[in-house]
Amino acid sequence: MLDGKALIELSEIKKVFYTDEVETHALSGIHLRVNAGEYVSIEGPSGCGKSTLLSLLGLLDTASDGSYVLNGHDVSNLDFSQRARIRNREIGFIFQSFNLIGDLTVYENVELPLTYRGAKSGARKEAAAAALEKVGMAHRVNHYPSQLSGGQQQRVAVARALVGNPSILLADEPTGNLDSKNGEAVMNLLRELHREGATICMVTHDPRYSRHADRQIHLFDGRIVDEQVDLEPVSTLD
């Protein structure tokens, strides 16, 4: 449910890349507000700025101009270590390629963000177990990523994103490396997390998946060109 509180506020965000004296305007004057409890999809053609926008939202990169307020705090001009600290505490990432560490077990992968945070062993164990239970992977705690299917690896990645109780989940093409059955399962998992109160921003190129969101943001040439609100987003794929 939306509570009207702005979790993310972007104002006049621009991102310019400079290479060999060439300027590439990846984002041009982005204004975006995401409320707590909202599920937003960001879509558009290849090269339109979707991943750049998600990187800025996740503090993996900084804007060339404009302001970014996250959970009431201006994070526009933080240094690297400050951004890393906020990422660890406020943001959960779900990547297309899972990004699990191959020589760590399922449990160790999910526990890792809390280790970086300095949480005590008991708290890490309890939180990791709860996150794995939520995504249906509690029975795989001692397995390694190579022993899991793609769908199972993405479920573990979702658990890792959830374990620190972040303010927002950022999903970058979370079904991109999955077949349709596993893609559907992951999308239904995200939808269930949203029903439980999670705030989600998802980049996708697939309109079937964007329909799971409350609101669809359409990008073209680095600008928001359209926005749709779905009063009855789908709960399962057709």
Instruction: Write the CATH number for 140.
Output: 3.40.50.300
Q: pLDDT digit string (tens) for 1-30?
A: 344 689 999 999 999 998 887 899 999 999
Q: How far apart are CA 169 and CA 162, in angstroms?
A: 8
Residue 232 has a pLDDT of: 59
Q: 145-153: which pairs have CB atoms within 8 A and are 24 or more residues apart? A: 145/98, 145/100, 145/101, 145/102, 145/106, 145/109, 146/102, 148/106, 149/182, 150/98, 150/177, 150/178, 150/179, 150/182, 151/178, 151/179, 151/181, 151/182, 151/185, 151/186, 153/98, 153/100
Q: Is residue 92 part of a domain?
A: yes
Instruction: Give yes or no for a contact between 16 and 24, defined as CB atoms under 8 angstroms apart.
Output: yes
Q: What total number of domains does the chain contain?
A: 1
Q: Two tokens at 179? A: 């077949």
Q: Is residue 5 part of a domain?
A: no
Q: Is residue 14 part of a domain?
A: no
Residue 65 has a pLDDT of: 96
Q: How far apart are CA 192 and CA 165, in angstroms?
A: 15
Q: Is residue 75 part of a domain?
A: no
Q: Which domain holds residue 114?
A: 39-63+80-229
Q: Is residue 144 part of a domain?
A: yes
- What's this model's pTM, rounded to 2 decimal places? 0.89
**Ranges of residues in the chain whose predicted pLDDT is under 50:** 1-3, 236-238
Residue 236 has a pLDDT of: 46
